Amino acid sequence: MANFLAKAFGFDPQQHSVRTEIFAGLTTFLTMAYILAVNPGIFSALDMPGGAVFTATALAAIVGTLVMALYAKKPFALAPGMGLNAFFVFTVCLGMGKPWTFALTAVLIEGIVFVILTVTKVRSWLVNALPGTLKKAIGAGIGLFIAFIGLQNAGIIVNNDATLVGLGHITEGTALLGIIGLFITAGLVMAKVRGGILWGILITSIIGLFIKDPATGAAITSLPKSVVSLPASIDPIFCKFEWSSILSWDMLAVVFTFLFIDMFDTMGTIIGVHQGAGIINKGNEEIPGVEKMFLADSIATIAGACFGTSTTTTYVESASGVGEGGRTGLTAFSVAVFFGLALFLSPIFLAIPSAATAPALIIVGVMMMPSIKTIHWDDYAKAIPAFVTIIMMPLAYSISDGILLGVISYVVCHAVAGRFKDISITMWILAALFVCKYIFI
């Protein structure tokens, strides 16, 4: 048994405990299981079947996490990424007017390209080329972006024609439920209740049974007709690719945009996970085993596209499992098993309103902020690029734009300050490419 665990998951019985690894896996699952409720809600804007999206989300998480467990042997879990799913739905489909089959085809192609880039070590080269200041800022920026999405989903922050955004009607409806849920979830997290985020979602959903939507007069939460059911078929969205458009200029533009966004979204998430877990080589800021993690991520993206969901990526909530002692692939394997069990509880997750999941997004945003405390804010050549990276993610509604603008500002600020020695050749090249991206794309 010990030999099997060692070969399969990198488990060392002298350093690791099976019980600890499994419990760490449960902790990670409980902190990230909200994606099972959030993803179908986001894709509902495209009229995609909620049950099918739920199943596709779980299957993508299972496949990606199993590859991470068995190949990379890391205690990190994967699932369709927040931010990436928003880009898929709100930018490519609703913004550009493309059908979801078109967007799925783009995800498949960029997943294949990422496998090539990973095998050739281009992706790990880019990660290691980023200065530590930007790496720390990326995690915080993603946190703000995710929190902003949560505030929007709850109706706490709404559109305002005069000021772009404004405060919603926070004393009624979904906004009120979101605020109540935020305090409940915050209390559970502060009390260090295991799975506090998931418990917060469930409790908030129950409270939603007693709060009415002013627009419809109906309760915000509707009771599911059953608790346990067989997983919904993914046939309506399985491998629904639009091959007729594969050679079009529109496809090329979307794939190229996905490449930029996914490249730096995934990079940012992996850096954020490792920053939160403290698993980065302090001397050179390099991430151990990054090539295998990227390959697991790339394979998961391809699988997710086939199942019918957006890009699958490593979750920052994995740090919670690492904090519980998870250190090997057995932790990730446990997460995959729990996602498999969740497949049969779809009625519960699909009945959860977006106002109940919004607090989870806000709390996750808070969890991603600590990395900024070690940024040298008194050194403006470092502080300004870090701030640009952080603030532009939510304001531009784009993780990739935050990273790209952060890289450009890093090079410009250091060049203006005459600190050319702090600018690597790679950073010069990246900045030039990103400037061209904004000019010509």
How far apart (Å, rounded) are the C-alpha atoms in residues 22 and 12? 14
Residue 243 and residue 141 share a domain: yes
Same domain, 104 and 155: yes
Shared domain check, 7 and 146: yes
pLDDT digits (tens, 9 = 90+) for 237-257: 999 998 888 888 778 877 776
390 and 242 in a common domain? no
Last residue of a domain, one of 340, 370, 400: 370
Cα dihedral sign, 213-232-93-138:
positive
The amino acid at 190 = M
Residue 30 and residue 65 in one domain: yes
Per mean pLDDT, which of 43-47, 196-200, 323-327, 380-384 is the most reliable? Answer: 380-384
- The answer to whether residues 261 and 138 belong to one domain is yes
Q: E-strand spans in 140-287?
A: 157-160, 164-167
Same domain for 153 and 181, yes or no, is yes
pLDDT at position 197 over 60:
yes
Highest mean pLDDT among 108-117, 282-291, 322-331, 341-350: 108-117
Structural domain range at position 408: 376-441
Residue 387 and residue 364 in one domain:
no
The rounded distance, in Å, linking the Cα atoms of 352 and 202 is 8
Share of the chain above pLDDT 70, in %: 92
Whole-number Å distance between alpha carbons of 296 and 209 = 40
Identity at 412, one-letter amino acid code: V
Q: Report how many domains make up the chain.
A: 2
Same domain, residue pair 14 and 141? yes
Asked whether residue 251 falls in the same domain as residue 218, the answer is: yes
Residues 389 and 366 in one domain: no
What average pLDDT is seen over the chain? Answer: 85
- Specify whether 301 is located in the same domain as 393: no
Contact assessment for residue 261 and residue 398, using Cβ atoms and an 8 Å cutoff: yes
Lowest-confidence pick of 83-97, 208-222, 259-273, 288-302: 259-273
Angle at 127 between CA 301 and CA 106, to 5 degrees: 30
* pTM of the predicted structure, to 2 decimals: 0.72
Final residue of a domain: which of 370, 400, 420?
Answer: 370
Q: Both tokens of residue 424? A: 């690597």
DSSP category for residue 376: -
| Last residue of one domain, picked from the residues 353, 370, 387 | 370
